[in-house]
Amino acid sequence: MSIDLSNLRQKFRERDYKLTPQRQIVLQVFIDNQDKHLSAEDVHNIVRQQSNDIGLATVYRTLELLSELDVLQKMDFGDGRSRYEINETSTPHHHHHLICLACGKVIEFEDDLMDELENVIAKNSNFTIVDHQVKFYGYCQECRKKRED
């Protein structure tokens, strides 16, 4: 996945926001952790490990702004915390997620069998579908092993 920083700057400019150093630091966390789904607390911890001093409240506000600008995708995996990841604009649409109910791990999968289903639902409901999100809940390989032991 490639992140186009000039494209991001453009997004900020269009909406009259500046890509301030703090916002850039938060964004960099997501660029460095592209396979992760980070909460505000996760981002705050990573930023602190890099000895950058950004308060949790600022992290929250920055994440809200970045998702408003469609730079980040905000997700809810049902554990009471919002998680964020970089919005992939290069692909036609987002990958989907498997969520482990035991350890909370989030696994991404690319298989998309939804197109046909979308067509059926669109037809039956007379509704134009432009996107979808899919979450499957269950148990990851490690947790399944533990349960069998």
Residue numbering of the annotated binding site for Zn(2+): 100, 103, 140, 143
Among 27, 40, 71, 140, binds Zn ion (CB under 5 A): 140
Tell me which stretch binds Zn ion (CB under 5 A): 7-15, 47-55, 110-118, 120-128: 110-118
Least Cα distance to 135 among 116, 113, 108, 115 occurs for 108
DSSP H or E run through 95: none
CB of 133 to Zn ion, least distance (A): 8
Which is closer to Zn ion, CB of 48 or CB of 146?
146
Cβ proximity of 66 and 80 under 8 Å: no
Does the footprint of Zn ion cover residue 76 (CB under 5 A)?
A: no
Does the footprint of Zn ion cover residue 121 (CB under 5 A)?
A: no
- Pairs from 141-149 (Cβ < 8 Å, separation ≥ 24): 142/103, 143/100, 143/102, 143/103, 146/102, 147/102
CB of 116 to Zn ion, least distance (A): 11
Tell me which stretch binds Zn ion (CB under 5 A): 6-14, 42-50, 93-101, 119-127: 93-101
Does the footprint of Zn ion cover residue 112 (CB under 5 A)?
A: yes
- Its sign, for the CA torsion 20, 57, 76, 16, is negative
Residue ranges of the annotated binding site for Fe cation are 94, 132
Binding residues with Zn ion: total (CB under 5 A) = 10
Structure tokens, 11: 């997004």
For residue 41, give Cα distances in angstroms to 54, 69, 105, 122.
Answer: 12, 21, 16, 39
The residues of the shown chain that bind Zn ion, judged by CB under 5 A, are 85, 100, 102-103, 105, 108, 112, 114, 140, 143
